[in-house]
Amino acid sequence: MGIAEPSRELFDKYSRKYDLSDKLYFSSLEQMLSVARPDAVVLYTNTFDHRHAVEICAKNHIPVMMEKPLAVSYADALAMSSAAAAGHIHVLVNYETTWYASNKAAYDLLRQGDLGVLKKLVFRDGHQGPREIGVQPEFFDWLTNPKLDGAGALYDFGCYGADLATWIMNGQAPSSVTAVTLQIKPDIYPRVDDEADVVLTYPKAVAILQPSWNWSYSIKDMEVYGTNASTKTMLRDKLLITREGHTDGQLTSTQPLQSPYDDSLHYFAAIVRGEISDPESSLSSLKTNVIVSEILDAARQSSQSGRTVVLPLK
């Protein structure tokens, strides 16, 4: 229906590439909403602009789905939650890993009791670095800007583990957050971290997030350790299950996810049309992602102060 993009030069670049009509172009979100009157909005802006966009959409009672993470700060996340409630709109956050059948299969094994009682979660997410993998220049500019992205690898990839951990913990926020960040490549990323390690403590479990722009390959895997067995996700559709008394794991394939739970746009469209509801505890939900924002904000504070941060944030 319409594309809101303040940079006409950027719009023209991609309109030529994908043969888009000039009639789709609007210089602002407000203009696009008033003229095109869409049923829903998908955000691909920098993270800092999420709050402003959600507040505009909430005033117009239009549901929103954005790319991860929700916010650059816990304060912005709370503001979006308030705006969504006032405007009675859905606000969803899309993560690539939400649509991995392997993550859903690991979650189901834990829920069914096959792994025993949960004790530890480990998340490894990232790649060689934005410059190294050749992201678009307009993306690189804000991804490496601490104001627009919140941080570097900590926010870019730490959000994946924080989201999955909150989902697995049934919406429970951790008791404390301890984080260490590094600039291993300050010549490439002088303004933000490119390496982070984050420890989340819960009353009877621990989660470890390892977001990085220094992996030698792209990685998004999860390990779930219970009292009886553990499982590791292998790419999108496989699990490695290791049981008590065995040292070799068993590699198994997972069942494909079924539409509309297999893709962000399928899922968002089904919610907008009222065909399904978005549970408060889902990976995409606003409630889950407000907690993710609290975790990331606490991790940033911890890395800056060198101290553990106790939740809830004040």
Residues 211, 194 within the same domain: yes
CB 237 within 8 A of CB 129: no
Q: Is residue 274 part of a domain?
A: no
Q: Is residue 273 part of a domain?
A: no
Q: Is residue 271 part of a domain?
A: no
Residues 116, 58 within the same domain: no
Residues 190, 283 within the same domain: yes
What total of structural domains would you count in the chain?
2
Q: What is the dihedral of CA 270, 272, 275, 277, to 10 degrees?
A: 100
Residues 62, 140 within the same domain: no
CB 186 within 8 A of CB 214: no
pTM of the predicted structure, to 2 decimals: 0.97
Residues 39, 102 within the same domain: no
pLDDT tens digits, the chain, 314 residues: what are they? 999 999 999 999 999 999 999 999 999 999 999 999 999 999 999 999 999 999 999 999 999 999 999 999 999 999 999 999 999 999 999 999 999 999 999 999 999 999 999 999 999 999 999 999 999 999 999 999 999 999 999 999 999 999 999 999 999 999 999 999 999 999 999 999 999 999 999 999 999 999 999 999 999 999 999 999 999 999 899 999 999 877 789 999 999 999 999 999 999 999 999 999 989 999 999 999 999 999 999 999 999 999 999 999 98
What's the 3-state SS for 151-182? CCHHHHHHHHHHHHHHHHCCCCCCCEEEEEEE
- Domain of 73 in residue numbering reads as 3-94
Residues 21, 119 within the same domain: no
Q: Is residue 56 part of a domain?
A: yes
* Element holding 287 (H helix, E strand): helix 286-305
CATH of the domain at 12: 3.40.50.720
Residues 172, 203 within the same domain: yes
Q: Is residue 269 part of a domain?
A: no
Domain boundary among 94, 120, 148: 94
CATH of the domain at 294: 3.30.360.10
Residues 13, 131 within the same domain: no
Residues 172, 298 within the same domain: yes
Domain boundary among 57, 77, 94: 94
Is 200 strand, coil or helix? strand
Q: Is residue 268 part of a domain?
A: no
Residues 188, 298 within the same domain: yes
Residues 85, 103 within the same domain: no
**Residues counted in the chain:** 314
Residues 45, 163 within the same domain: no
Q: Is residue 267 part of a domain?
A: no
Domain boundary among 94, 117, 146: 94
Q: For residue 68, what are the β-bridge partners?
A: none
